[in-house]
């Protein structure tokens, strides 16, 4: 008899987390000051700039950008980038694309004899994009062969779409005589796949802390937001492609110049933005999900594999706030001077019952003035957040967060309340476990049936396909011989099955 199974070779990709590690960065900031009287604010942000896989070890290089405002001979500030190197060893060999992301989970500082000592703890998350080749049964030709089919959706990893976008902007600040710090942060709005390229757009938020007079307490801050839009090319991208995005700033290449004039200052920004999109192409395939022969036994091998089912990314904002109190014995807060060195730590991102929940804490340093001592002081205010959003996906571990519209106010002279808008961009997906037939062969003949007529009582949850497979007949024969049955079957029905091949006919 003729028996010809047809197979299609496919490539399926998935993403999995393989670990997390922490790096500790400790150094002295080069302030070039003989004496530091006070540290008003300290912050750190990190990014991974390169990595190399050797066997089951990942060697990576990152950058930490420190910002500090302090008092020496007046108010000063420093922006300093430091490189760090570390490695992560996995229990298995690594064969796929490695995705590294970093986050500063803690930073502190203290005054030492030669300046400011800073310590930052960097948390690095390691994911792997795995790719697997699978042979899938898509058709079987042959006599007395019955098949059922289904459609499956597959995602195959195409590669990285990477672009360095040079953001430039000028704006004016009135009454500024000295710019102390410029703190940028970046957030995505959306990423649109097109034929062979992506369109990326988002927002760059810039906080500027500056002086308007010669006194230490003549400090103000202003926030600016700028939209950006650029294209990223990669051959093979389609409009249906699914993208997982990482966006960050190249901190050690940021350039800020100030032109001081009589009534205002002109700030010129050069901020390089680095974008990486991990691109997956989608395909649909008709496969044989069950097969049997009416005359022969079949040997069937099944295989399971994971594939990404990407859905629409989400972008939303939520209001967050936090409060900090000063000691009862401390002088009253008379004037909020500014909010600077904002930072966000993402604690968790999870999906439960169709709801995305993102938890973490945002920090803001508030500088304030006290008339009683004619001095300025700073306090760090934490804004814990737990924001929710209805979604379609089941997994969200690719998240970009940033703050905007950060404001502080004094309450009763003893408390400081900070509020902000938290922007969230998350790439959503499901991880599907797909089972397919990967091999099949024809076996021995089944024994000849010595009964031509059966009365079959349907079991609960049985289908016509289940009955036909069990009785070694076709679905068409059952439906032709029992035109009165209603589908779907409920269980308990009596079905007549007549096998005419026993008297020389075949159906």
Contact call for residues 405 and 223 (beta carbons, < 8 A): yes
- What is the residue-level pLDDT of the chain in tens, covering all 507 positions? 689 999 999 999 999 999 999 999 999 999 888 889 999 999 999 999 999 999 999 999 999 999 999 998 888 999 999 999 999 999 988 989 999 999 999 999 999 987 899 999 999 999 999 999 999 999 999 989 999 999 999 999 999 999 999 999 999 998 888 888 888 999 999 999 999 999 999 999 998 988 888 888 888 888 899 999 999 999 999 999 999 999 999 888 999 898 887 778 899 999 999 999 999 999 999 999 999 999 999 999 999 999 988 888 889 999 999 999 988 888 999 999 888 877 888 888 888 888 889 999 999 999 999 999 998 999 999 999 999 888 865 665 678 888 888 999 998 889 999 999 999 998 888 888 999 999 999 999 998 877 889 999 999 999 999 999 999 999 999 999 999 999 999 999 999 999 865 444 444
Residues 230, 188 contacting (CB under 8 angstroms): no
- The pair of three-digit structure tokens given for residue 229, joined into one six-digit string: 């839009």
- Residue spans per domain, the chain: 12-129+158-280+311-433, 449-503
Q: Any idea what the Cα angle at residue 21 is, between residues 20 and 26, rounded to 5°?
A: 150
Report residue 464 as tokens. 């016509």
**321 exposure class (CB count in 10 Å sphere: 0-12, 13-18, 19+):** middle
32: left (phi over 0), alpha (psi -120 to 50) or beta: left
Q: Quick one: pLDDT at residue 505?
A: 45
Q: Beta partners for 89?
A: 57
Give how far the C-alpha of residue 225 lies from the chain's centroid of Cα atoms, to the nearest Å.
23
d(CA 127, CA 264) in angstroms, rounded, equals 48
Cβ contact 273:162 at 8 Å: no
Spatial CB neighbours of 323, under 8 Å, sequence gap ≥ 6: 381, 411, 415, 416, 417, 418
Identify the pLDDT of residue 396.
Answer: 59
- DSSP helix/strand/coil, 458: coil
CA atoms 48, 50, 52, 53: torsion sign:
positive
Query: What tokens were used for 149?
Result: 């089919």
> What is residue 115's predicted lDDT score, i.e. its pLDDT?
86
Q: Hey, what are 93's tokens? A: 């060999």
Nearest to 41 by CA among 183, 174, 173: 183
452 φψ region: left (φ > 0), alpha (ψ -120 to 50), beta (else): alpha
pLDDT at 178: 86
CATH number, domain 449-503, options 3.10.350.10, 1.10.8.60, 4.10.140.10, 3.30.70.1090: 3.10.350.10
CA distances from residue 192 to 5, 136, 165, 237 in whole angstroms, order as listed: 40, 31, 17, 10
Question: Reduced to 3 states, what is the DSSP secondary structure of residue 252?
Answer: helix
Q: Token pair 């930490």 is at which residue?
A: 64
Distance of CA 177 to the CA centre of its chain: 41
In this prediction, residue 430 carries a pLDDT of: 83
For residue 385, how many other CB atoms are within 10 A of its CB? 22
Task: At 216, list the tokens.
Answer: 């230490």
On the CB side of 482, how many CA atoms lie within 13 Å of its CA? 24
Cβ 366 vs Cβ 377: under 8 Å: no
Distance CA 315, CA 402 (A): 12
Going by C-alpha positions, the residue among 357, 361, 365 that lies closest to residue 395 is: 357
Note the pLDDT of residue 63.
93
């Amino acid at each position: 008899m003729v028996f010809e199974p047809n197979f299609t070779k496919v490539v399926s990709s998935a993403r999995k987390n393989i670990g997390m590690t922490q790096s500790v960065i400790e150094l002295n900031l080069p302030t070039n000051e003989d004496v530091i009287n006070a540290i008003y604010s300290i912050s750190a942000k990190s990014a991974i700039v390169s990595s190399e896989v050797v066997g089951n070890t990942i060697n990576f290089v990152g950058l930490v950008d420190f910002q500090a405002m302090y008092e020496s001979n007046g108010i000063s500030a420093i922006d300093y980038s430091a490189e760090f190197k570390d490695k992560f060893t996995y229990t298995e060999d690594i064969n796929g694309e490695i995705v590294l992301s970093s986050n500063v989970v803690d930073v502190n500082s203290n005054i030492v004899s030669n300046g400011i000592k800073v310590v930052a703890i960097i948390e690095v998350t390691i994911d792997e994009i795995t790719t697997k080749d699978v042979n899938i049964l898509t058709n079987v030709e042959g006599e007395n062969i019955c098949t059922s089919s289904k459609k499956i959706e597959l995602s195959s990893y195409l590669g990285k779409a990477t672009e360095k976008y040079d953001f430039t902007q000028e704006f004016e600040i009135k009454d500024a005589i000295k710019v102390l710090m410029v703190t940028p942060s970046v957030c995505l709005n959306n990423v649109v796949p097109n034929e062979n390229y992506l369109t990326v757009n988002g927002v760059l938020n810039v906080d500027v802390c500056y002086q308007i007079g010669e006194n230490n307490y003549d400090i103000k801050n202003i926030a600016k937001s700028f939209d950006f839009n650029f294209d990223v090319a990669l051959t093979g991208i389609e409009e249906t492609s699914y993208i997982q995005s990482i966006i960050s700033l190249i901190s050690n290449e940021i350039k800020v110049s100030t032109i001081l004039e009589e009534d205002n200052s002109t700030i010129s920004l050069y901020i390089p933005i680095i974008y990486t999109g991990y691109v997956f192409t989608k395909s649909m395939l008709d496969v044989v999900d069950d097969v049997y022969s009416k005359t022969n036994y079949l040997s069937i091998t099944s295989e399971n594999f994971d594939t990404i089912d990407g859905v629409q990314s989400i972008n939303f904002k939520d209001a967050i706030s936090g409060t900090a109190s000063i000691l009862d014995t401390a002088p009253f807060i008379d004037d909020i001077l500014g909010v600077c060195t904002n930072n966000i730590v993402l604690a968790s991102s999870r999906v439960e019952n169709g709801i995305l929940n993102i938890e973490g804490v945002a920090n803001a340093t508030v500088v304030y003035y006290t008339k009683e001592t004619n001095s300025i002081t700073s306090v760090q205010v934490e804004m814990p957040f737990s924001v929710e959003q209805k979604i379609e996906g089941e997994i969200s571990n690719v998240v970009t967060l940033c703050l905007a519209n950060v404001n502080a106010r004094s309450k009763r002279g003893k408390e400081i309340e900070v509020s902000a808008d938290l922007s969230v961009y998350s790439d959503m997906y499901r991880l599907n476990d797909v089972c397919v037939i990967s091999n099949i062969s024809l076996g021995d003949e089944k024994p000849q049936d010595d009964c031509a007529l059966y009365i079959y009582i349907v079991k609960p949850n049985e289908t016509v396909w289940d009955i036909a497979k069990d009785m070694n007949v076709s679905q068409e024969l059952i439906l032709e011989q029992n035109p009165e049955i209603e589908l779907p079957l409920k269980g308990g029905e009596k079905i007549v099955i007549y096998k005419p091949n026993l008297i020389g006919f075949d159906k």
